[in-house]
Amino acid sequence: MKQGAGLAIGVIAVALAAGGGYWAGHRSPAAAGEGSTPATSVAPHETGKQEKKLLYYRNPMGLPDTSPVPKKDPMGMDYIAVFAGAPDEEPAAANQLKFSTEKIQKMGVRTEAAQMRLLDRTVRAAGRIEPDERRLFTIASKFEGYVERLHVNVTGQPVTKGQPLFEAYSPELVSAQREYAIAVQGIDALKSAGAETQTGMKQLAEASLQRLRNWDVSDEQIKALARTGSAQRTLSFRSPASGIVMEKKAVQGMRFMPGEMLYQIADLSAVWVVADVFEQDLALIKTGAKARVSINAYPDKVFTGTVSYVYPTLKPETRTVPVRVELANPGLLLKPGMFAQLELGVSAKTKVVTVPLSAVIDSGTRQIVLLSQGEGRFTPREVKLGARSDAYVEVLDGVKEGELVVVTANFLIDAESNLKAAVAGFGAALPAPAAAASAPAVKAAGHQAQGTIDGIDLKDGSISLNHGPVASLKWPAMTMEFKVANAALLKDLKVGDKLSVEFVERQPGEWVITSVKK
C-alpha cells in the first residue's frame, strides 16, 4: 500500500511540474513581472493584433536626419520612432507629400476634379467717349474776307443742315460776281456777233462761274446773280450737317484768311468708344464682335456697340492697343470725353481641360498644382497653362481630365511641407531658380510654449528660454535658443521673466519667436 501511494504521488508531482512549465512558457510578459524579458515573442495569429513595422527614427527638431537605430540629438532629445501607417510616415514617392487626416481638416484642404468645359471669358478695358471722326465738319473760307454778321455765335449750339452760320464780305468775292454778271450780259449782247466772239465770251462766263463755285457760292445765289446782274455784298456760309457746334472761332467783324477754320460741327448721334486693351487679350478681339459699355454717369444703363477697328500700333508705356467700338447715342447722353468701361464676351469654340485659378501656385517662372492621391498624399506637378476665364484656367499639359487638384489651402501645404525641396526631386528637366532654392521655407503652422528667460543676446537678436513641454512638436521640457522675428519683441524683457511665446520654424533647425506675452 505504501509503495502504491508513493508511485501515485510521484506521477502527480511530474504532472504538476509539466503544467507549471507549460504555464510559465506561455504566460504574458506583463504577468512575468516588471523588468523581465520573455524568451519568445507571441505570433500575430495568437494575439489577434498585427505588430507595427518600425521604419526609422526621425530627428525630434524636424531636421532632415533619420536613423535606423535609436539615438539622441546634440541637445539630448531622443529621436522619434516612425512606424508604417503612422500619420507622420514619409511619402512613398520622392516628390510626394503626406499629411495626417487631422492636419488636412485643420488646414481646410478642398479638392476639385479637372474638367472639360467651354472656357468663356470676358475681356475688360477702360476707354473714353470720342466723336465719330467721319461725322466731324469744319467750316473754313477759301478766300480772304471779313465776318459781316453771325447767325450762330455760341459754342455748343445745335444746328441743322443748311442753317446759316455767318455772312462774310470779301472784295474778291464781289469782283468775281461782277465778272460773271458782265460775262452773262455779254453773251446776250453778242448773239448777232460771229461764232468766234460768242465762244470767247462763253469761255469767260464759264471761268467766272467756276471761280464762284470754287468759293462755295450756292447755285441759288449764282442763278440770282445771272438773273438780276447785281452782285451780292456778302456771302452766307451754311452748316453742312446737323449737329453741335464743337468749336467757334468766328467773331463778328474779324478778318479771316483762306483756309482758316471758323466753325467745327460734330454729329453726335453716333459716337466712338476708344478702349485700351491689354496686349495679352488682343488675340481675343475680333472685328464685328458685340461689346457692352458702362458709363459712370449712368450706372443703371448699359450701352451695346460693335467693334469696328483694332488700331495697328501698341502703346509701349502701358502695353495696350486701342480698340474702337461704334455706339449709337440716342438722346445725346454720351458726351465726348466721358470715361467708359468696355466688356467684351469671348466664347470658346471647343472644350478644354480646366482647373480653378486657385489651384495654381505661380512662382513667376513656372506654375505648379497639387494632385490629391488619396489618404492624405499629394503630388506637386508642373503644368503648362493656356487661356483664362474669370474662375478657371486651361491646362495644356500636366493634368488630365478627372484628376483631383487642391483648390484651397494649397499655399499652406506648400509652406508646411517645403514644396520647393519636394519638387527639386523632379529631375534636371525642372531646375529650380537660384533665388527660390536659397530662400528659406517658412512654415505656416505656429507653436506655443511657456518658460523662463535664461539669457538675452541683443546683438544676435535671440533669447535662451527654459520652456515646458510643447505638445504640437512632441518636445519635452528643455532649455534652447530662439531667434526673434524683430528686435522690438526684446523690449522690456529681462532674465528671469516668465513668458508665453508663439514660434515657427523659419528653416530646418531655426526656430523664430513671432509673439511674446509676459
Asked whether the domain spanning 447-517 has the same topology as the one spanning 97-118+350-438, the reply is no
Residues 309/301, Cβ–Cβ less than 8 Å = no
Residue 97 buriedness (CB in 10 A; 0-12 / 13-18 / 19+) = buried
| DSSP result, 292-358 | EEEETTEEEEEEEEEEEEE-S--BTTTTEEEEEEEEE-GGG---TT-EEEEEEEE--SSEEEEEEGG
Q: What's the grid cell of residue 382? A: 508642373
**How many CB atoms sit inside 10 A of residue 99's CB?**
21
* Residue spans per domain, the chain: 55-90, 97-118+350-438, 447-517
Phi, then psi, of 256 in degrees rounded to 5: -125, 155
List, in order, residues 6 or more apart from 178 with CB less than 8 Å away: 231
What's the rounded mean pLDDT across residues 390-403?
88
C-alpha cell at 73: 540629438
Helices and strands per DSSP (H, E), number in the chain: 9, 31
Given the C-alpha cell 523662463, which residue does it identify?
452
For residue 50, name the pLDDT band (cuts at 50, 70, 90): low
Residue 263 burial class via C-beta count within 10 angstroms: exposed 0-12, middle 13-18, buried 19 and up: buried
Confirm or reject CATH 3.40.50.300 for domain 447-517, answering yes or no.
Answer: no
Specify the residue for cell string 472639360: 116
Residue 43: the pLDDT is: 41
Give the pLDDT confidence score for residue 94 in this predicted structure.
52
How many residues does this entry show for the chain? 518
Residues 6+ apart with CB under 8 A from 452: 465, 466, 496, 497, 498, 499
The pLDDT value recorded for residue 418 is: 53
pLDDT of residue 379: 84
pLDDT band at 95 (very low <50, low <70, confident <90, very high): low
Q: Are strands 80-83 and 367-374 parallel, antiparallel or unpaired?
A: unpaired
Could you tell me whether strands 234-238 and 243-248 are parallel, antiparallel, or unpaired per DSSP bridges?
Answer: unpaired
Cell of 193: 456777233
At residue 64, φ and ψ (nearest 5 deg) are -75, 65
Count of CA atoms in the C-beta half-sphere (13 A) of 164: 13
Give the tens place of pLDDT for each residue, 260-313: 999 999 999 999 999 999 998 888 888 998 999 999 889 899 999 999 999 999
- Position 2 scores a pLDDT of 42
**CATH 3.30.70.270 for domain 97-118+350-438:** no
Dihedral Cα 154, 157, 160, 165, nearest 10 deg: 0
Asked which of 25-29, 316-320, 380-384 is least confident by mean pLDDT, the reply is: 25-29
The whole-model pTM stands at: 0.51
Query: And the C-alpha cell for 7?
Result: 508511485
Distance, CA of 342 to CA of 340 (rounded, Å)? 6
Q: With pLDDT > 90 as the criterion, what percentage of the chain qualifies? A: 27
The kind and range of the H/E element at 145 are strand 145-150
Give the tens place of pLDDT for each residue, 413-433. 766 655 444 444 444 344 444
Task: Identify which of 355, 424, 427 has the alpha carbon closest to the alpha carbon of residue 97.
Answer: 424
For helices 195-214 and 219-228, angle between their N-to-C axes, nearest 10 degrees: 140
Distances (CA, A) of 238 to 165, 263, 304: 5, 11, 34
Q: Which of 69-73, 130-134, 323-327 has the lowest mean pLDDT?
A: 69-73
